[in-house]
Chains A and B, each alone.
Chain A
Amino acid sequence: MRFVRLLGAVAVFYGLSYFFHALLQILSTMRFGGPEPLHLVIIGTNLAIGVVTLINGIGLLLRQKWARVSWLVTVILLVLFHNFILLLTYWLGQDLTQQLLNVGLIFFLAVISWSKLGDEEGKKYFR
């Protein structure tokens, strides 16, 4: 039970950090002029990730059955998304360190989530 709650707390923190990042980006565009279409896409993506992980995290904290499946799907999508961003950064010739760390962190989160919640045993934690 503690594991599921801690996982929920991590997911909520992850969502909050994306919200915070998006907020800084919004403030930055407000300060330095109107946002370009690309900026809107990036801010929208960050907000979407924030909302989804926040909802999943609260679901995990409350040990809801839907949250287990939803989180397992979300974490896989996040791994794919961050890998895509890593590829994009590589193609653009930018520094890969930050994206590699992002991929590493979300990969470990995915491995831990799937190893504990991915089988029948994992269902027992939820109501």
Chain B
Amino acid sequence: MSSTANATFSVWKILANLTGLLAFAVMAGFGIRTIPTNPRVGWFSAILFGTMCVAMVIELFRICGLDEDQTPAIATRVKIRPALIYAASLIVTLFLGISDHFISSSFTESFPRPGVWLGTFLTTLAFYPLRERKEDFPNFTFWTIFCALMGAVSVVLSYLTDWVEQLL
């Protein structure tokens, strides 16, 4: 994750990062599948490769933002970007909260609720580099608390989904 002042955008860097992201996502998936048989190794690889995935996403945001001075409509983006971040966080929260049963069955019933919370927390945290101007957006501490709360909402949603399924 090199960060130099005169770094330039390159499609090859993006492709390399995306390939890495795919590889880490697959390995994190294998880690989650291993949890029922070997919890220690499973959790370790899930957290390690999950963190690598988040690092890759952050790096992708960084690379995509290089040469920003050529952007034509900065004013429009400044208005829209925070809204997009909040919308994306909400979508992730709803997605992970509702789909926990599907994810659980995909990974041999081995995706407990702490995983839902962690998934939502890390994914929403990864949106932080998207912010355009610091004054228009909460600081990192506030954003971390916000992400933790969204994780809790996701867990509540997953309980709610189970309750609705039992009712139906």
A residues at B contact (CB < 8 Å): 1-3, 5-6, 8-9, 12-13, 16-17, 20, 58, 61-62, 97-98, 101, 104-105, 108, 121, 124-125
Contact = CB atoms under 8 A, between A and B. Distances in A.
Contacts of B91: 108
Q: Which interface class (under 10, 10 to 19, 20 to 34, 35 or more) fits B?
A: 20 to 34
B17 to A, nearest CB: 8
B117 to A, nearest CB: 19
B86 to A, nearest CB: 14
The binding surface of chain A is classed by DSSP as helix
The binding surface of chain B is classed by DSSP as helix
A16 B23 CA distance: 11
Nearest to A101: B99
Contact of B64 (A9, A58, A121): A9
**Centre residue among A5, A8, A12 by max chain B CB count within 10 A:** A5
Contacts, number: 54
Nearest to A123: B72
B9 interface: yes
29 contacts: A1-B67, A1-B68, A1-B70, A2-B61, A2-B64, A2-B65, A2-B71, A5-B64, A6-B60, A6-B64, A9-B14, A12-B14, A12-B15, A12-B18, A13-B18, A17-B22, A20-B26, A61-B14, A62-B11, A97-B101, A97-B102, A98-B102, A101-B95, A101-B99, A104-B95, A105-B95, A121-B76, A124-B73, A125-B72
